Structure 1
Amino acid sequence: MTLSLAISPCPNDTFVFHALVHGLVPDAPPMDVTYADVDVTNTSAAKGKYDLVKVSYAALPWLLDKYALLPCGGALGRGCGPLVVVRDPEATPNLAGRTVAVPGDRTTAYLLMRLWAADTPPAKVKIVPFHEIMPGVAAGKYDAGLVIHEARFTYSKHGLHALADLGEWWERDTGLPIPLGAILARRGTVDPDQAAEWVRASVHAAWNDPEATQEYVLAHAQELEPAVASQHIALYVNDFTANLGDEGYAAVEALLNRAAAAGLTPPLPTPLR
């Protein structure tokens, strides 16, 4: 039986899933892979479209009735949070009165921004494909942009400046790492324990032979220099990718419980573990 898998084309996902996608994980079924931006996978998962799917942790309250959270394969860590970027290095460090481009309404980045800017919310929010945000801010189309992924390494090339590091704010406020992207298994179709074994085996295969993943990673990150792709992987693929552990689960629960208390998301429908 072939399973459907949806991940982003970002280096951390292609690095992590290289072995699984290429049939290198013993006893794992073949994968029919879709590569899509996380806003697309969040929306598709709400319809139960994929067997295994990468989504934003912020989207979990809408998805856990259909999917189980896997304890591995996702993106969670320190020093890797979203950034709010602007053109003006002297800009007032809040979003009051501004139009902000964001990469999706159920992304962790947007949820963090709403928590951070609760007292000074933006005047307008525009949902914009990730790759259009920095050029749009640089061109003056938006006053600010919420950026994720490799934008941490490239925003200055667009002449932009960081107004806020939301991961740094979250870590300082909670002492916890920032939960970004999760891997889910569709209930009734995929056994989550078995799926976790496949994904964890794929993670370890990539760590054991990173050179084997390079061609695949760069093929799906065509606009990135190899050095930036390597930085991206080093930042987003870490111990939490192999196992969320108690600290990882605590971070996810803290984010979603705080969001529910603020009325930004529904309460979690089922326990995470």
Structure 2
Amino acid sequence: MVIAHSPDADDIFMYYAIKFGWVSMKDRAFDNIALDIETLNTEALKGTYDISAISFGLYPHIRNDYALLRTAVSFGQGYGPKLIRKKETVLKKRFKVALSGKYTTNALLFRVAYPEAKIVYMNFLEIEQAVLDGVVDAGVLIHESILGYDDSLEVERELWDVWCELAGSELPLPLGGMAIRRSLPITSAIAYENLLTKAVQIARDHKEALSKMLIERSLVRIDAPTLEKYLELYANDESISLNETQYKAIEKLFEIGYEHGFYDQKIDPKDFMIPLEYTELRNS
């Protein structure tokens, strides 16, 4: 069984309790593949992987083929992607901007807020340099890049502020989650979700030891202090299992996408989760 995730520190942290053998499943071996988030989104549209990290902004497009998992989720609360530009630069109405992918949550919010901007999609690791080189007028930074960028750049707008305006509240900003193929046997899907949930829980319980191992083995791109800060943003205790507030936030994101023509219908995320109660009903 292959689990596809991004190479970003939060995904690495939430998966590697499985990779290191701290969590396992009888008679089932797991492997992983790390791809940038937009590649994962694109592969999910093709149905490539049984279990995959995705942007929440993608999910309505794959709802018929994948169920949402409740674990390994990343939200922003007062923070998130940043629209940056060179200092002393004034952005015109149709400014050229670099985004990390068409199906990312940040792209959905940006396109709603800036419908006339000229968008270029590129790997998120290339966005800062593209702004510095003048290839684009601005760019949306995501993942670890929000924690540090060149001194000649500054924030034009926080996408957290865009989210709050569109949502009409300060619900947490849904960024990334996990999806599982619907064609898998339901008992297997439940077992996989339980395993992944346990992996994230154990990662959090042993954060210091796991973080040290990730740093020592060069499995993350950032240093120890930055990793500590980053994990508290995107792989924190709220990442273990979705809560009611997070459900409401995902539902609001899907509502915004539907109202602005990005989705063909408005959906309730709770209708697209694995029915965990199936095991109890089956054994009753």
1:146 aligns with 2:140: yes
Match of 2:125 in 1: 131
Query: How does 1:53-68 map onto structure 2 within 5 Å?
Result: 53-68=52-67
- 1:34-49 to structure 2, matched below 5 A, reads 34-49=33-48
Instruction: Render the CA deviation track for 1:27-76: whole Å, top value 9, x for unaligned.
Output: 26322211010000001111111111000001001111111101111211
SS for the counterpart of 1:39 is helix
Using the alignment, how far apart are the partners of 2:169 and 2:265 within structure 1? Answer: 20
8 Å contact kept, 2:72–2:239: yes
**Which residue is 1:254 aligned to?**
252
Tell me, yes or no, if structure 1 residue 75 matches structure 2 residue 69. Answer: no
TM-score normalised to the size of structure 1? 0.90
Q: 1:42 to 1:100 in 2, by over 3 A?
A: same
Structure 1, unpaired ranges of 5+: none
User: Are 2:275 and 1:272 aligned?
Assistant: no
Structure 1 residue 12 corresponds to structure 2 residue 6:
no
Q: Which residue of 1 aligns with 2:194?
A: 197
In structure 1, C-alpha distance between the alignment counterparts of 2:72 and 2:260, rounded to whole Å: 29
SS in 2 for 1:55: strand
Q: Report Cα offsets for 1:154-175 as digits up to 9, x if no partner.
A: 12x3521000101133235322
Flag the 1:216–1:99 CA change in 2: closer, same or farther, 3 A.
Answer: farther
SS at match of 1:81: coil
- Is there any run of 5+ residues in structure 2 with no aligned partner, and where? 274-284
Match of 1:150, SS?
A: helix
Counterparts of 2:236 and 2:113, CA distance in 1: 26
CA separation in 2, counterparts of 1:240 and 1:272? 20
**Match for 1:80: what amino acid?**
Y
Could you tell me the percent identity over the aligned residues? Answer: 27
Q: CA deviation at 1:263?
A: 0.5
Shift of 1:229: 1.8
Aligned to 1:159: 152
TM-score, normalised with respect to structure 2 = 0.86
Contact 1:78 1:171 in 2 (8 A): no
Q: Tell whether the 8 Å contact from 2:51 to 2:179 is kept in structure 1 after alignment.
A: yes
Count of residues paired in the alignment: 264
| Residue 214 of structure 2 is aligned to residue 217 of structure 1 | yes
Q: 1:159 to 1:18 in 2, by over 3 A?
A: same
Tell me: CA distance 1:168–1:239, structure 2 relative to 1, closer, same or farther (3 Å). Answer: farther
Contact 1:82 1:146 in 2 (8 A): yes
- Of 70, 93, 98, which residue of structure 1 is paired with 2:95? 98
Say whether the 8 Å CA contact 2:5–2:32 is kept in structure 1: yes
Q: Deviations over 1:5-44 (max 9, x none)?
A: 1111111111111112223214263222110100000011
